[in-house]
Amino acid sequence: MSFENHARTLDMLFDANHNQVGPKALKKIMKKYLDRDYDLVGGADYVIDRWKDGRIRYGNDKPQAVKVLEMIWILILSEQKEN
């Protein structure tokens, strides 16, 4: 699978859920779908982080959506420090 397929999945999940659930729940949903649907070499966190960077850099999201994206990144970093 290509990164574009992962990005489409994450875009769909983010657009459908970022107003209804918090960043922690959204990240959990994203990881669940990626782990279930794809065999990821670098892991779901890596794919989510790359997707988030691209979405912030090239997307036209409203400030509230960008804040959720940034919170997902903070969650990924805090989990990496714990492990």
**pLDDT tens readout for residues 4-21:** 888 898 999 998 998 898
Instruction: Tell me the per-residue pLDDT of 25-80, one tens digit each, with 9 for 90 and over.
Output: 988 899 888 888 777 766 888 888 888 888 888 777 788 888 888 888 788 778 77
Q: Tell me, what's the pLDDT at 41?
A: 64
Residue ranges making up the domain that contains 22: 3-82
Within 8 A by CB and 6+ apart from 23, the residues are 68, 71, 72, 74, 75
The pLDDT of residue 59 is: 74
Tell me the pLDDT band of 83, cut-offs 50, 70 and 90: low
Burial of 5 (0-12, 13-18, 19+ CB in 10 A): exposed
- As for how many domains the chain has, the answer is 1
- Residue 71: the pLDDT is 83
Report which of 54, 53, 58 is spatially closest to residue 73, judged by C-alpha positions: 53
